[in-house]
Structure 1
Amino acid sequence: MKIAIVGGGLQGIEIVYLAQQAGYEVLLVDKDKSAPALNLVTEYLICNLVEEEGQFLEGVKDVDLIFPATENDAALATLRRICSKIDLPVLFDWQAYQISSSKERSKQFFIENNIPQSKSWPEADFPVIIKPSQASGSEGVYQVDNQQQLTEVLSTLEEPIIEEYLVGPSYSIEVIAIRGQVFPLAVTYLDFDQIFDCKRVIYSGQIEEWLEDELANICTKIAQRLSLEGIMDLEVIVSKEGIKVLEIDARFPSQTPITVFYGTGLNMVEMLVELTVGQYEEVNLTNSERAVIYEHIEVQDNRLTVCGEHIMAEADNLIIKDDFFGATKVLTNYDPEGGEWIATLIFVADSLNEVFRKRNQTLTEIFNQHQLEEFSDPTIFD
């Protein structure tokens, strides 16, 4: 099996890693010679899909399917047009993505289908969260506490979404749906930095059963109402008023699939591919007892900082290493000769207590060995 992954950014890293774990051959396509995922593959095609359509078609002539890993509208539109003319499966739901890629359209979908969500302004009182309708993840997200701040932020944004600021733990769940079969997957816990970017994902078999069941029901309902053909992730917050859906994304996510893979053995890339080609016979969704922490760090100016995923988006020369200062796996541009570097650390253990012990021991080892002076793990409450 050979797959073409279009896009070498954060989604591309995730798909490349899991595709290789599944034993697939990978062709990575990106217009940027320094795309973060490029160093992780042995075969790649530097190609601007929008401007070099012929080169792209020649490059993918020996692949079995195409896996979009980009949110570039022009590239996706070109890919959709091209693939309507060639006999290659494309693992992407264009219709569902049009809804999920717009926070405004998503909120309207939630209203029409009675999906629990946060209150919108002006029903919501301060503090509120402001975010652009079309941006992905934490990009352009602001918290404002009064009318003056609200006015200032609104002057810089077009078509913003304004919602109540909810307090409570955040969780994510993926759902895969192919030809009417709907498979809600594992629940992960999300931790955020001070700019609302996810810095840490935690998997544990200790998630309460009622929460797992409710999230599975919600994402199944959404997948069915969207007539989903592919993968979607769902982010929620459990507030004092109950579960509220924050957003959906009908494209392959980053961070959570690798976390789930190490926690349960379930490979979402492999599952999607085999469901698409009709070879997937059984889905084992029984939670493993393993615990996983997946988080990002930056070492700079004698300081170790736990950061949101954005630090990996512009990285180059990334490599994968085992047993990195005690971490089970690492994706990093670490240079033992010194200098600034970043890393995604993956810790796997038999219990939540043990995985946090490993994590703390690794961070301490990095801090001491590099003779650093400061440690920071900022949160949205800082």
Structure 2
Amino acid sequence: MKILCIGSRLFDDVAPYFREKGIESVVTESNPDADNLDLADEVFIGPRGMKFPHDVAIKEEVDGIVPLIGIDPPLLDVAYMKEEVEAENNIPVVASNVHAVQISSDKSKTKEIFRKIGVNTPESVYVYKEDLDDFEDIIHNEGFDFPVVLKQNQGQGGKDISIVSDIDGVRKYFETFDGALCENFIEGAEISIETLGWKGEYLPLVPVYKGDTGINATHPITRVRYGPTNFEKLDNEEIRATALKIAQNIRTEGNLDLDFIYDRKNNKLYAIEANTRPSGTRYLTQASSTINTLAELVDMAAGVFSIGDVESRIRNYYCAEIPVGTYEGEIPEKTFKEKDYVVHGPVGYQRVTIRASSKDELISKVKDITGRDIEI
């Protein structure tokens, strides 16, 4: 069995799994100085784009392709390559198709799907720069008022997103952009959940908490995050059922990362975004459920993936993810087998994800490993 991974940046998440299963790994990469190249059995360096990995896959006669791409811009090219390779060469490509990517990569289209299938999403309207003089009338006609969230239809990780409280803030935002998706600001808890999908079957995993929204809130990556979510009035099964409904309707394959906001005051869950790529909360998913979502992509490519098998392996832990900047201690493999923690992220922006069997044990472990006191 030989499987090709496109991109090496995330390959250390699955390299131990390749070794464990005796699968030969092939990695294509455009940067000869990229991380993790030494972990693969074979490495091919070539130009950016999907033609090079496509050609390597055919030449090397691989059994499957797993794009390890954590950013949005290449996803549509991956989807076109998927359709071509699967149709012409019968090689499975573990990624979403063109239909799903075109929806998930456009925030306006994503929200249209949410509304169509009856999933709550914040009121919104697309506003162009030339309509600024009528901005307040436009949002009032849609049923909301300041504060508002301004964002671009394409983008990830909080890029080009601004929460503004008045028309002056809107005008400042439009000094840079000619238009924006304007969304009603919902104050509450940010939640993410990963969903696995393959050949028409879907499995939502564990909802995890990323911190609260707020006018002056910090970016989620700088916050303490934990899993599973634990809100008195919100059942995690409601989140999982909503995630399943979205995945089935968008018809994703591989990994789907969904973002929600929970309005505690009104006890209401809102869907915000859908991302057809590996999630930034995958270590929380792995710590709290034992499911390494990227390893499951390898199983899909290898033809051995089963929803029932994944469900049978799910275990329930408590976990927390702590920003530490630069971690000074031992850095284990990202498996949670050597230690009950993993370290991830670039030096200077590292995070430690820790798991435990109880809340009290987790609080103690966080203190021992990071020196931080946390409340859950």
Shared fold per TM-score greater than 0.5: yes
Q: Which amino acid aligns with 1:72?
A: P
CA distance in 1, matches of 2:296, 2:155: 28
Equivalent residue, structure 1, for 2:172: 152
Q: Which amino acid aligns with 2:278?
A: F
Q: Does residue 1:169 correspond to 2:169, yes or no?
A: no
Equivalent residue, structure 1, for 2:158: 138
1:293 equivalent among 320, 323, 326: 320
1:86 equivalent among 77, 80, 89: 89
CA distance in 1, matches of 2:252, 2:317: 30
CA distance in 2, matches of 1:271, 1:235: 21
1:261 equivalent among 267, 271, 286: 286
CA distance in 2, matches of 1:252, 1:273: 13
CA deviation digits over 1:300-349, x for unaligned, max 9? xxxx9xxxxxxxxxxxxx984899xx973324676xxxxxx443312122
The worse-fitting range, judged by mean Cα deviation, of 263-272 and 241-250 is 263-272
Equivalent residue, structure 2, for 1:361: 368
Q: Which amino acid aligns with 2:88?
A: K
CA distance in 1, matches of 2:312, 2:244: 14
* C-alpha spacing 1:320/1:275, structure 2 compared with 1 (3 Å): closer
* C-alpha spacing 1:168/1:145, structure 2 compared with 1 (3 Å): same
Q: Does residue 1:8 correspond to 2:8, yes or no?
A: yes
1:247 equivalent among 268, 273, 281: 273
Deviation at 1:285, TM superposition (A): 6.1
1:346 equivalent among 339, 347, 353: 353
* C-alpha spacing 1:322/1:104, structure 2 compared with 1 (3 Å): closer
Deviation at 1:275, TM superposition (A): 4.9
Deviation at 1:103, TM superposition (A): 0.7
So what's the TM-score if we normalise by structure 2? 0.76
Equivalent residue, structure 1, for 2:211: 191
So what's the TM-score if we normalise by structure 1? 0.75
Equivalent residue, structure 1, for 2:227: 203
CA deviation digits over 1:155-206, x for unaligned, max 9? 3124422212222122112222323322221221113772454654422486
Q: Which amino acid aligns with 2:318?
A: A
The worse-fitting range, judged by mean Cα deviation, of 143-152 and 35-44 is 35-44
Equivalent residue, structure 2, for 1:34: 33
Q: Does residue 1:99 correspond to 2:123, yes or no?
A: no
Q: Equivalent pairs: percent with the same residue? A: 20
Deviation at 1:99, TM superposition (A): 0.5
Deviation at 1:364, TM superposition (A): 2.8
Equivalent residue, structure 1, for 2:78: 76
CA distance in 1, matches of 2:341, 2:293: 20
Whether the aligned pair in 2 keeps the contact of 1:117 and 1:246 (CA below 8 Å) is yes
Structure in which a larger fraction of residues adopt strand: 1
Whether the aligned pair in 1 keeps the contact of 2:28 and 2:45 (CA below 8 Å) is yes
Secondary structure in 1 matching 2:294? helix
Deviation at 1:219, TM superposition (A): 1.4
Equivalent residue, structure 2, for 1:380: none
Equivalent residue, structure 1, for 2:43: 44
CA distance in 2, matches of 1:76, 1:128: 34
Extract unaligned runs of 5+ from structure 2. 126-138
Give the paired residue count: 340
Whether the aligned pair in 2 keeps the contact of 1:349 and 1:355 (CA below 8 Å) is yes
CA deviation digits over 1:263-310, x for unaligned, max 9? 2222323434445615535332686342222344324xxxx9xxxxxx
Deviation at 1:244, TM superposition (A): 0.5
> Which structure has more RCO (C-alpha within 8 Å, separation ≥ 6)?
1
* C-alpha spacing 1:293/1:36, structure 2 compared with 1 (3 Å): farther
* C-alpha spacing 1:124/1:48, structure 2 compared with 1 (3 Å): farther
CA deviation digits over 1:82-136, x for unaligned, max 9? 5243331100112212101111111111122221011225133222221111112
Equivalent residue, structure 1, for 2:251: 227
Whether the aligned pair in 2 keeps the contact of 1:298 and 1:342 (CA below 8 Å) is yes
Secondary structure in 2 matching 1:237? strand
CA distance in 2, matches of 1:153, 1:205: 33
CA distance in 2, matches of 1:273, 1:219: 22
Whether the aligned pair in 2 keeps the contact of 1:5 and 1:26 (CA below 8 Å) is yes
* C-alpha spacing 1:332/1:148, structure 2 compared with 1 (3 Å): closer
Equivalent residue, structure 2, for 1:310: none
CA RMSD of aligned residues (A): 3.6
Whether the aligned pair in 2 keeps the contact of 1:119 and 1:164 (CA below 8 Å) is yes
